[in-house]
Amino acid sequence: MSGGGAEFALACPPLPAADETVQLAHGSGGRATARLLETIIRPALAEPELDRQHDGAILEAAGPLAFTTDSYVVRPLFFPGGDIGALAVNGTVNDLAMCGARPLWLSVGLILEEGLSLATLRAALGSMRAAAAAAGVRLVTGDTKVVERGKADGMFITTAGIGQVVAPAPIAPDRLRPGDVVILSGDIGRHGMAVMAAREGFGFTPAIESDCAAVAAPVLALLASGIAVHCLRDPTRGGLASAMVEIAEKAQCAIALDEALIPVRADVAAACDLLGLDPLQVACEGRFVAFVPSADAEPALALLRAHPVSAGARVIGAVTVGSAGQVSCRGPLGIARALDMLSGEALPRIC
Amino acid sequence: MRFRDEYRQAATARGLADALAATMTRPWTLMEVCGGQTHAILRFGVDALLPPGLALVHGPGCPVCVTPVDYIDKAIEIAACPGVILCSFGDMLRVPGSAGTLLEARARGADIRTVYSPLDALALARAAPDREIVFFAVGFETTAPANALAAYQARREGLGNFSLLASHFRVPPAMRAILAAPGNRVQGFLAAGHVCTIMGMDEYEPIAAAYRVPIVVTGFEPVDILQGVLSCVRQLEAGQALVENQYARSVRQLGNCVAKALMAEVFRVVPRHWRGIGEITESGLGLAPAYDAWNAECKFGSVRQGIEPERGCISGEVLRGTRKPTDCPAFATRCTPERPLGVTMVSSEGACAAYYRYRGAALPVTAAPR
């Protein structure tokens, strides 16, 4: 058909109007900033503490507190099963839970790239609000900056969190004892594969969904039950293998896992096989590992399985008296291999 | 999962190991050609099931390992040119040339992108006509067809801003070189299943006949490898030297004829320098003259293949199958994946990396029979 040029022009999406995108002025601290806060950010987060428009939040607490911070950068911003907003809340909530604390308050630092669509910003903030409500935390203070186009990947979010420590004894690697069992709360590798597949456009059907979720509820239930939880860890970057090696090295003990007991969904396993990645080194964002005395294994499993986010909990191995810092994993042939931390970036192989 | 779980069954594997022990009357040394097979052997502990006297040595089939330093240097040089986007498979980015890696070049500002297919690089060339897109085309006969397709399509579309820096390798000449080398220990081969999926098995018949070695085309799961070893040993014990196909679920006698025709159209056979091994006649694929306009060496100057400096490790001998990673005094001491001395430790497909990853620095190495 002739006139293809005109047709092409018609097919192009119209550029968003200036008032539909983040502008540099939105970070100036002046009227534009005030308008962004007033019309987008505060309504989206719907938190009374933010509406007071103070320089910071005034909080009351007693007893020991846990305090943590994490920055979230992910491409794409939205992926099957989650988005940067949900990740920024759940990740910090989970870090507090891993300290044996009840998550209470979060701060939100936004770094926005000039040109980011306001609809995207609104959606990410809405997701933060929903994740915060689900986890029972409040987003009590925040900050917004805008950087020039090309200087950020759409948006970066930093959250810091404060929680009330409820664990009766410290939660730390040095409390590991030979004989402790390793409990994993569910299947692994979904977040890392979901994000990689979305970013690279692999087009798996159906898409692999991230496990992005807060795990504070089952952890708090475990701590409240009187079970002696020795250590907790969420296997995020570097996956289960890196988390186990980190703990074994810190605790100066050995950990023996059994690959047959570690749940990996068939779609994740197939994607990992295809790309030459080890699911044990792929990130999770809604899973945790708990070390408890073997006598407590059954009650702990029953308790965890009552929560949807940890319904797939199972024992995957034990702390042993082997060489300090060594993590082994028994494979399908019954032969153990060593597990190591991820070396460098996880790069798919050539063939 | 079908085609996976049944090839990872402990009972099947042990049955094969028992059959192997019952078949062997004397020691044998076999080579698995492909780095993917080496990884499966170490990851699943297949070597621990082998009877004493059965030695598996690891072959040169790791494309990242054998790509010469000069090609990596050239890729870095091209990436530094204004307007260029260099596209590469991910695991090539970590391999050091004589002055650093592609990852380091990217950190210095070069536009270097990871792609999963050469066709992604081609799409980039269509979308960015003002940029020069160079695809770093490395690998064996497995990756060659897709790279050939990219060049073929670029020529058909007259896409002037796309080219290939091609460093392709052919497996059969390397097998001949290993067999012909003084001090060769290899008495039988597990040939690389995926290479044969493309190329078929015809090229291997003359090698088996000339050197009197059994060649069993083998897959990548532990049961595949044990079946390949058993077939090879049965032949050796019977004094046979035939080409057999263990990986029949993927490999046909003639291979993939469409892929081979495309490769014949785009590439021609050239001598190729293998990192750690040296030059092997007819062991490479370069772009045919009709593709000069899509050949990065014509656009940016040709790669001079020379002798690389000694790196204080035995990676060359590991690639030739004359020594094992654990024979190296530097293994897991001065040489680790974070601070690699040789390419066999750098590449995720390399034999040294496999030993380090699955056996660990602290673990005693499972008795690897010699």
Predicted local confidence at residue A2, as pLDDT: 40
pLDDT for the residue B305: 73
Q: Tens of pLDDT along A4-59? A: 344 444 445 455 555 699 999 998 889 999 999 999 999 999 998 888 888 899 99
Q: Of A78, A45, A16, A69, which is closest to residue A144 (Cα–Cα)? A: A45
A residues 209-268 lying closer than 8 A (beta carbon) to B: 266
Using CB atoms, pick whichever of B45, B92, B338 lies closest to residue A333.
B45
Decide which of B345 and A239 is more confident.
Answer: A239
Top pLDDT among A172 and B275 is at: A172
Which residue type sits at A337?
Answer: R
User: Who among A269, A335, A347 is closest to B44 (CB)?
Assistant: A335
pLDDT of B346 above 90: no
Residue from B46, B357, B365 whose CB has the most chain A CBs within 10 Å, to mutate: B357
A333 min Cα distance to partner chain B (Å): 4
At B313, the pLDDT band (50, 70, 90 cuts) reads confident
Phi, psi of B42 (to 5 degrees): -75, -40
The contacts of residue A124 (CB under 8 Å, 6+ apart) are: A77, A78, A83, A84, A85, A155, A157
For chain B, what percent of residues have pLDDT higher than 90? 77
Distances (CA, A) of A88 to A71, A122, A147: 7, 15, 19
A334 in reach of chain B (CB within 8 A): yes
Give CA–CA dist A346/B39, Å, rounded: 16
CA nearest neighbour of A276 among B62, B217, B245, B9 = B62
Can you name the residues that pair with B200 across neighbouring β-strands?
A: none
**Is residue A143 less than 8 Å (CB to CB) from chain B?**
no
Residue of chain A with shortest Cα separation from B339: A343
What residues contact residue A201 under an 8 Å CB cut-off, 6+ apart? none
Q: Chain B contacts of A337, Cβ < 8 Å?
A: 42-45, 358-359
Phi, psi of A301 (to 5 degrees): -65, -45
pLDDT in tens, B27-41: 999 999 999 999 999
A205-211 contact pairs (CB < 8 A, 24+): A206/A267, A207/A80, A208/A80, A208/A81, A208/A265, A208/A267, A208/A268, A208/A271, A209/A80, A209/A81, A210/A79, A210/A80, A210/A81, A210/A82, A210/A285, A210/A286, A211/A81, A211/A186, A211/A187, A211/A284, A211/A285, A211/A286, A211/A287
* Cα–Cα distance for residue pair A261/B329, rounded to 1 Å: 37
Nearest to A333 among B49, B116, B337 (CB): B49
Tell me, what's the pLDDT at B364?
Answer: 43
Residues 6+ apart with CB under 8 A from B78: B84, B86, B134, B165, B296, B300
DSSP alpha helices (H): ranges in A164-238? 190-200, 216-224
Over residues B307-314, the mean pLDDT reads 71
Q: Which residue has the higher pLDDT, A349 or A338?
A: A338
Report the chain A residue with the minimal C-alpha distance to residue B65: A350
| Nearest-angstrom CA–CA distance, B171 and B183 | 20
What is the pLDDT, as a whole number, of residue B342?
83
Task: Give the per-residue pLDDT at A317.
Answer: 98
Indicate which of B33, B46, B91 best probes the interface with A, i.e. most A CBs within 10 Å of its own CB.
Answer: B91
Cis peptide leading into residue B96 (ω within 30°): no
**Chain A CA closest to residue B1:** A266
SS3 at position B156: helix
Answer yes or no: is pLDDT of A265 > 60. Answer: yes
Q: Test A332 with B8 for CB contact under 8 angstroms.
A: yes
In A, minimum Cα distance to B36 occurs at: A351
- Residues B266, B150: Cα–Cα separation, whole Å: 10
- pLDDT value at residue B362: 53
Name the 3-class secondary structure at A344.
coil
Domains plus CATH for chain A? 16-165 (3.30.1330.10), 173-338 (3.90.650.10)
SS3 assignment, position A110: strand
d(CA B80, CA B235): 53
Phi-psi region of B249 (alpha: psi -120 to 50; beta: other; left: phi over 0): alpha
Are the CB atoms for A294 and A280 separated by under 8 Å? no
Residue A200 has a pLDDT of: 86
According to the model, what pLDDT value does residue A3 have? Answer: 39
Q: What whole-number distance in Å separates Cα of residue B32 and Cα of residue B34?
A: 6
Instruction: Provide the pLDDT confidence category of residue B316 given band limits of 50, 70 and 90.
Output: confident
In 3D, which of B248, B255, B239, B238 has the Cα closest to residue B216?
B248
Instruction: For residue B203, give the nearest of B172, B246, B179, B248 by alpha carbon.
Output: B172
**Averaged pLDDT for residues B7-19:** 97
Which residue ranges form the domains of chain B, and what is each CATH number? Answer: 1-310 (3.40.50.11740), 315-359 (no CATH)
Tell me which of A275 and B11 has the higher pLDDT: B11
**Which residue does chain B place closest to A281, by CA atoms?**
B357
**Burial code of A233-264, b = ≥16 C-beta within 10 A, e = fewer?**
bbbbebbbbbbbbbbbeebebbbbbbbeebbb
Nearby residues of A23 by Cβ (< 8 Å), 6 or more positions away: A32, A114, A146
What's the pLDDT at B311?
67
Question: What number is the average pLDDT over the span B98-113?
Answer: 94
pLDDT, tens digit, for every residue of A86-129?
Answer: 999 999 999 999 999 999 999 999 999 999 999 999 999 999 99
Q: Which residues of A touch B348 (CB under 8 A)?
A: 276, 347, 349
CA of A270, closest CA in chain B: separation in Å? 8
Q: Model confidence at A247, in pLDDT bands (50, 70, 90)? A: very high
Residues B63/B136, Cβ–Cβ less than 8 Å: no
- At residue A45, the 3 state secondary structure works out as helix
| CA distance, residue B149 to nearest chain A CA (Å) | 16
For residue B21, what pLDDT is reported? 97
Q: What is the pLDDT of residues A280-329, one digit of tens each?
A: 999 999 999 999 999 999 999 999 999 999 999 999 999 999 888 999 99
Q: Residue A100 — left, alpha, or beta (φ > 0 → left; ψ -120 to 50 → alpha)?
A: left
Do the Cβ atoms of B45 and A331 come within 8 Å? yes
Phi-psi region of A313 (alpha: psi -120 to 50; beta: other; left: phi over 0): beta
The partner residue sitting opposite A273, judged by closest CB among B4, B49, B357, is B4
| Cα distance between residue B341 and residue B215, in whole Å | 32
Are A287 and A184 contacting, i.e. CB atoms less than 8 angstroms apart?
yes
**Which of B198, B224, B358 to substitute to test the interface with A, most A CBs within 10 Å?**
B358
The model's pTM is 0.90
Length of chain A: 351
| Contact yes or no for A351 and B63 at CB 8 A | yes
Residues belonging to chain B with any Cβ–Cβ distance to chain A shorter than 8 Å:
1, 4, 8-10, 13-14, 36, 42-46, 48-49, 63-64, 89-94, 114, 116, 138-140, 142-143, 194, 222, 337-338, 348-349, 356-360, 362-363, 366
* Residues of chain B by 3-state class (helix, strand, coil), percent to 5: 45, 20, 35
pLDDT of amino acid B367: 35
C-alpha span between B5 and B236 (Å, rounded): 30
Whether B207 shows a pLDDT value over 90: the answer reads yes
- Chain A's closest residue to B35, CA to CA, is A351
Q: How far is CA A158 from the centre of its chain?
A: 13
A44 Cβ partners below 8 Å, 6+ apart? A121, A122, A125, A126, A128, A129
Statement: residue A226 has pLDDT above 80? yes
Q: Which of B227-236, B333-342, B359-368 has the highest mean pLDDT?
A: B227-236
CB pairs under 8 A between A and B: 94
Report d(CA B104, CA B93) in Å as an integer.
9
Structure tokens belonging to residue A263: 């749940």
With beta carbons under 8 A apart, name residues in chain A contacting B14.
Answer: 333
Residue-wise DSSP of B264-327:
HHHEEEEEEEETTTEEEEEEEEEE-GGGGGGBHHHHH------PPPP-SS-HHHHHHTSS-GGG
Give how far A344 is from chain B: nearest CA, Å. Answer: 8
Distance CA B33, CA A52 (A): 69
User: Left, alpha or beta for A182 (phi > 0: left; psi -120 to 50: alpha)?
Assistant: beta
